[in-house]
Structure 1
Amino acid sequence: MKRITLGILLLSLLFTLLSACGKERQGTLTVYAGLYEDHAIKAIETFQKQTGIKVNYVRMSSGEILARIRAERNAPKASIWYGGPADTFIQAKTEGLLEPYNSKQAESIPPEYRDPDGYWTGIYIGSIAFVSNKTWLQEVGLQAPHSWSDLLKPEYRGMISMADPRSSGTAYTTMATLVQLFGEDEAFDYLRRLHRQSIVYTTSGSVPGRTVGMGDSGTAVMFAHDALKYYKEGFQDLIISFPNEGTGYEIGAVGVIKGGPNQKEAREFVDWALSKQAQDLGKQVGNYQQLTNPDAVPPEEAIPLEKLNAIPYDLEWAGRNRERLIQKWTTRVLGLGDE
């Protein structure tokens, strides 16, 4: 009888341990992060500490995240897409890759910064800018650019850096801005002429800021908040300017990946990411975006859209036309493949 009782106790203990392990696995989220690495780490560490939910993350550019989610659509490995321009989220929504979630926290976010059906919600805002190296400008006798046409001047040939819209949300926001500003035909004529300036294309939208800061490029087209980060990190030659004709902007978003594991924990992450506390974390690690939660306090250095000649950027249009415009850029600007 004692042996039977002991056996039952051992089996009970084993069952309890296995159940605990199962719960731990269920509580582990995988996040695809479009934020800066330091921002993603700070946010995830804080979320884990406050909720006890373990998180794994992979840092990628927005186009890379979209491609990964597509590839995994039949067996998703991640549950959360965290950061990067919302127009890429809109494309993912049209392809059935996201799960709608109407978080209670989203009710405090202004309607223009969230999807009405809950497929994504904005967490920050950032504007497209010209970022130049002051020393280089002085050497070639130029002022900081204040017009899109300035980048077509002979002095800029071989000295412009920007990201590739096939991988970068920053670059796609730039392209969609130009199309909305000038019309599609004129915008693509401009992009072809800009390409003939021997542009250095990068995978990530923030990398051009480093090349300009180091003097390897003269000017970059990128988000202003990324340039502010590099400036604060020691690249004191950086100058930020904006095109007189108008500039566009991103709404950085968070959303739930359709069919991903741990949907309950994923929704809890979205709730947390929309909170004042979560949005206030960015400035602690040197990130300078405007924020979407009205109670959150943006960094003093952040540049409000109200101070810029910002176009009425049509986010929905940009998201729904993303695939078509990128294909057109690939064929008409790079001369690759068929349109």
Structure 2
Amino acid sequence: MGLTPTPDGPDAREQQSAVSTGRSVARPVLTEQQLRENADSFLTQVTRVLRSEPELLEIRRNSEWFDEIGVAGLLSELSLVTHAHLVSRDMFRARISDGTEIAMHELIYPVLQGFDSVALESDLTIVGSDQLFNEAMARELQVKHGQAPQTIITSTVTPGLDGGPKQSKSMNNYVGLCAAPDEKFGRLMTLQDELVGLWARVYSDLPLAVTEELGGRALAGGIAARDAKLDLAEAIVRRHDGASAARRSREEFLRIFSLKEQPQEMAPLALGGKAMTALEMVTTARPELSRSQARRLLAGGGVELDGRRLTHPEEVLTPVETQVLRAGRRRWFRLEGATPEERF
């Protein structure tokens, strides 16, 4: 059974403004539309690793029970838990020690998450290790409701690609499960050397002896580390996208980054042939970047047009059809839409 938050449910409110999963800073505020998109994205990812036949996978939304219990039910549930127990959580202790405030909705979130298990009469839950406190709370609530406590299986929360505390979309230090094979492969090649062994153990289906050997090679540095990451990236892509896609991604990566060649396939970019600044070209190709981020990409030498590096945001360019734009290490575009005169 899968559980997803509803845009107006407690999980959504926490996601908009609170720290509940080990974070020490507030989350950015999300709109209802963003929350729905996140839930849909989560389900898409889940079905990449779980069988999704209706008789095997059931999706539930926690608004089903939170809408039903109302304020009276919530107060009744809170009466089963003490303040001392809630603030024993290591994250809360650290914030109290630092003199950082804890909002009430953050404090009671473990109770809300715990009640999900009561409502579902859960017998097993699989979560990241950062959720252990909340799911242990669920076990206690289940006992107080006369249920058998669920079994908890925790998975390892790995550091991000850059060695940060965990993978995060906002930090851009993650590998997307639903990303294209080439994108997965390229991101995995940026992994810190000291994390290769851990990532191999957690995310690949390689034998443990092989993951340890990969970790040792990565720690040796140099060519050995590069080859270890090539093997890791291929193993992870193979697990999710198949052996053929994995081999192709490896060959494509080596061709682009080792032989300095262009990728065989590029996203088309229609610019209409009108003159524009380098900054405008980058933000058109990469709309997810802010203007400040695009300026930094240009200044850092991350943008090329037909092999010529662009560094000045206000440089005026006239796009020509079939020109190749590189806007970032792994983002390539082939220009379209030039006038016939511009082609000659």
TM-score normalised by L of structure 2: 0.22
Higher strand share: 1
TM-score under structure 1 length normalisation? 0.23
Larger radius of gyration: 2
